[in-house]
């Protein structure tokens, strides 16, 4: 039975998770979603020997949206709000999960019109922790082949076997690696992870393989 008695530790984890999510967004999010896009506009203007007035107008249109709609700054603020909440939730859940020694996950969430390929392909599937770590290393644990360019689209730079639990499918991802008891994991997934050496069930868990 998991031990939930260390409430002070979990309060500290909660605070750490909030700070970690905010730092991830400030360090990587601004660069990827805002700064890099401005640099692209500047580089394009230099290459084409554009007029300075045209450059200023283009930057203003990009940042504010002008009279035509929402600009990049407002879109980014909206995305930061969403990513801050989801990354905070993922960080907190993952830290607690590690403390409780849970090994299996289900990639949960729903499909919408702009759901990225990574999430479509792995949504509602079950994984052992080590299989999720492979996804963080850009390897499909079900085929042992590299993730496709489509599956990597929108991936947060620096995603690895540790941060995949937090970064998940990438920017603005609304899916989660939700911890789950082996009792609720399909038998074929349990058997797969016994065969590949990821999971060593105890005596009681062995009954789940029958």
Pairwise pLDDT comparison (71 vs 171), residue with the higher score = 171
pLDDT value at position 112? 84
What is the mean pLDDT of the segment spanning 129-157?
95
pTM beyond 0.75: the answer is: no
**pLDDT for 193 beyond 60:** yes
| 132, HSE (Cβ side, Cα atoms, 13 Å) | 26
pLDDT value at position 2? 46
pLDDT tens digits, 81-94: 555 666 666 666 66
pLDDT value at position 172? 80
Pairwise pLDDT comparison (2 vs 117), residue with the higher score = 117
Task: Map out the domains of the chain as residue ranges.
Answer: 7-101, 102-210
Q: What confidence tier does 144 reach under pLDDT thresholds 50, 70, 90?
A: very high
CB 67 within 8 A of CB 209: no
Pairwise pLDDT comparison (96 vs 203), residue with the higher score = 203
For the chain, the distance separating the N- and C-terminal CA atoms, rounded to the nearest angstrom, is: 22
Contacts of 81 (CB under 8 A, 6+ apart): none
How is residue 103 annotated by DSSP?
-
What is the mean pLDDT of the segment spanning 102-110?
91
Nearest alpha carbon to residue 71 among 81, 58, 59, 62:
62
How is residue 207 annotated by DSSP?
G
pLDDT averaged over every residue in the chain: 77
Strand partners, 145: 140
Strand partners, 106: 126, 178
């Amino acid at each position: 039975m998991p031990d939930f008695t260390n409430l002070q530790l979990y309060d500290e984890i909660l605070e750490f998770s909030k700070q970690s999510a905010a730092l991830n967004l400030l360090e990587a999010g601004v660069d990827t979603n805002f700064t890099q896009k401005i640099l692209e506009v500047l580089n394009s203007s230099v290459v084409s020997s554009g007029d300075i007035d045209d450059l200023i107008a283009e930057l203003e249109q990009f940042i504010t949206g002008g009279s035509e709609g929402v600009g990049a700054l407002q879109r980014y603020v909206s995305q930061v709000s969403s990513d801050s909440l989801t990354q905070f939730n993922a960080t907190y859940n993952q830290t607690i999960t590690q403390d409780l020694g849970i090994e299996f996950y289900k990639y949960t969430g729903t499909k919408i019109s702009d759901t990225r390929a990574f999430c479509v392909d792995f949504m509602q599937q079950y994984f052992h922790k080590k299989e999720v770590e492979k996804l963080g290393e850009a390897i499909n644990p079900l085929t042992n082949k590299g993730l496709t360019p489509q599956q990597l689209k929108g991936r947060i730079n620096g995603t690895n076997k540790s941060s995949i639990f937090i970064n998940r499918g990438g920017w603005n991802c609304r899916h989660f690696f939700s911890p789950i008891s082996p009792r609720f994991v399909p038998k074929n997934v349990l058997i797969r992870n016994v065969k590949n050496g990821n999971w060593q069930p105890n005596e009681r868990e062995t009954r789940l393989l029958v």
